[in-house]
């Protein structure tokens, strides 16, 4: 995840730098200025010149120097920080299949069940390798405002890599009258075998085979 964050940071930084090069080329009115992309120290020099003169005027005032640099730093933080945050957030739950060397990004819902009576006990048992607690799950439906959600990520290349997530979901109505889901992870990134997954899929059916302890 650290490497993913660093990669996202780098591409965010690159996007901000490209934005500067393009903007300076537009200001210069010369498309050939885009070649300055390969000379970052020259770009820094031009940015300093712009900071001395000002880039825009607002209400008759033209910010220069330190004030303008602060504005640019805020813009850079939004671009670079936003890119890093969104990338890490989007992929933090997506497992990576080492065998296929690809992201296991096919997600499906195994079922929606009544809330767990003891989430800590359930988690401890599952982490220790016991699937017995799953047999206690009772099917619910998405119309309930509190339920346990089972979802699985699958590698579509090898079709033999499955990762299970168990979440506690609470639906609340905000002050605008809209439903908001608050998700609390119970078990995350649990690798399961195809046999165990097949049994888990049957949990939402009226009758299902008990999972092995």
Sign of the dihedral defined by the CA atoms of residues 107, 86, 37, 19, in that order: positive
Domain count, the chain: 2
The residue with greater pLDDT, 84 or 147, is: 147
Q: pLDDT digit string (tens) for 143-198?
A: 678 999 999 999 999 999 999 999 999 988 888 888 888 999 999 989 999 998 98
Residues 107 and 85 in one domain: no
Residues 167 and 104 in one domain: yes
**CA separation, residue 32 to residues 16, 39, 40, 185 (Å):** 19, 13, 15, 52
Residues 55 and 106 in one domain: no
User: Sorting pLDDT into bands at 50, 70 and 90, what band is 211?
Assistant: low
How large is the average pLDDT for residues 189-210?
A: 78
Residues 194 and 122 in one domain: yes
Extract the tokens encoding 188: 């995350």
Q: What is the pLDDT of residue 181?
A: 87
Domain boundary among 54, 71, 91: 91
Q: Would you say the pTM of this structure is higher than 0.75? A: no
Structural domain for 53, as ranges: 2-91
Spatial distance between the Cα atoms of 54 and 62, rounded to a whole number of angstroms: 6
Alpha helices in 54-140 (DSSP H): 65-76, 82-91, 119-127
- The neighbour count for residue 24, using CB atoms within 10 Å, is 19
Q: Within a domain: residue 34?
A: yes
Residues 71 and 112 in one domain: no
| Residue given tokens 């059916």 in the structure block | 205
Domain boundary among 44, 69, 91: 91
- The neighbour count for residue 182, using CB atoms within 10 Å, is 11
One-character DSSP codes across 3-42: HHHHHHHHHHHHHHHHHHHHHHHHHHT-GGGGGGGG-HHH
- The neighbour count for residue 83, using CB atoms within 10 Å, is 19
Residues 34 and 7 in one domain: yes
Position 208 pLDDT exceeds 70: no
How large is the average pLDDT for residues 104-131?
A: 91
Spatial distance between the Cα atoms of 44 and 24, rounded to a whole number of angstroms: 11
How large is the average pLDDT for residues 45-56?
A: 90
Position 207 pLDDT exceeds 60: no
204 close to 112: Cβ distance less than 8 angstroms? yes
- The neighbour count for residue 38, using CB atoms within 10 Å, is 9
Spatial distance between the Cα atoms of 77 and 64, rounded to a whole number of angstroms: 19
Residues 123 and 85 in one domain: no
3-state helix, strand, coil in the chain (%, to 5): 45, 25, 30
Domain boundary among 23, 58, 91: 91
Residues 108 and 197 in one domain: yes
């Amino acid at each position: 995840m650290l490497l993913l964050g660093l990669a996202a940071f780098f591409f965010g930084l690159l996007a901000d730098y490209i934005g500067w090069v393009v903007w300076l080329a537009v200001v210069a009115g010369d498309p050939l200025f885009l070649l300055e992309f390969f000379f970052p120290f020259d770009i820094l020099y031009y940015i300093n010149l712009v900071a001395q003169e000002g880039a825009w005027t607002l209400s008759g005032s033209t910010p220069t120097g330190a004030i303008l640099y602060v504005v640019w730093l805020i813009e850079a933080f939004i671009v670079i920080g936003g890119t890093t945050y969104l990338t890490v957030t989007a992929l933090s739950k997506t497992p990576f299949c080492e065998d296929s060397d690809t992201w296991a990004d096919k997600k499906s819902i195994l079922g929606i069940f009544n809330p767990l009576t003891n989430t800590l006990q359930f988690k401890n048992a599952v982490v220790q390798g016991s699937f017995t607690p799953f047999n206690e799950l009772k099917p619910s439906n998405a119309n309930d405002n509190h339920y346990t959600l089972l979802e699985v990520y699958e590698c579509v290349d090898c079709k033999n890599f499955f990762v299970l997530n168990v979440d506690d979901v609470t639906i609340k109505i905000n002050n605008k009258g809209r439903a908001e889901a608050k998700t609390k992870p119970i078990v995350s990134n649990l690798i399961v075998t195809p046999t165990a997954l097949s049994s888990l899929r049957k949990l939402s059916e009226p009758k299902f085979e008990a999972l092995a302890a």
